[in-house]
Amino acid sequence: MGEDTARSGISIIFHEHSSSILTWVAITDYGRAVGSVSLTFEKERVIKLHGAHVSTEFRGQGIYSKLYDERMDYIMSNYNGYKLISWCKESTLGKFTKKGWREVEKCTLVEKYI
């Protein structure tokens, strides 16, 4: 972890918020946080991936892919045998299914102004 992505001047740093929440943050070479992904430990031997975000002006530079890969490398090295779950938007579903994930359920975002 912590390697620079050569084409974009982005480093990935790892942060352990607590024993149940882990986060990877994409940082520019001038110190700006431009993306992140997280995971939480759910019920026994279940890890939920979530919190994926890349700042609009930094999208399309491979930052999300690097964050995804760093998080998955960490999981594969430390949590063999665990079940992984994640909610995906249409924009990231293909990345997951190409990596062997299967679609189980769809979810729709709803909102209400008060």
pLDDT digits (tens, 9 = 90+) for 66-85: 999 999 999 999 999 999 99
For the stretch 10-29, pLDDT in tens is 999 999 999 999 999 999 99
Across 80-92, average pLDDT: 91
Beta strand pairing call for 10-18 and 33-41: unpaired
* In the chain, where the domains are located: 4-98
Residue 5 pLDDT > 80, yes or no? no
CATH number of 4-98: 3.40.1190.10, 3.30.70.360, 3.30.565.10, 3.40.630.30? 3.40.630.30
Structure token pair of residue 31: 């110190």
Give residue 51's pLDDT.
Answer: 87
Q: What is the average pLDDT value for the chain, to the nearest integer?
A: 90
Residue type, 96: F
Beta strand pairing call for 46-54 and 83-86: parallel
The SS3 call for residue 111 is coil
pTM of the shown model:
0.83
Residue 59 pLDDT > 90, yes or no? yes
Structure token pair of residue 13: 């740093």
Torsion angle of alpha carbons 4, 73, 88, 7, nearest 10°? 20
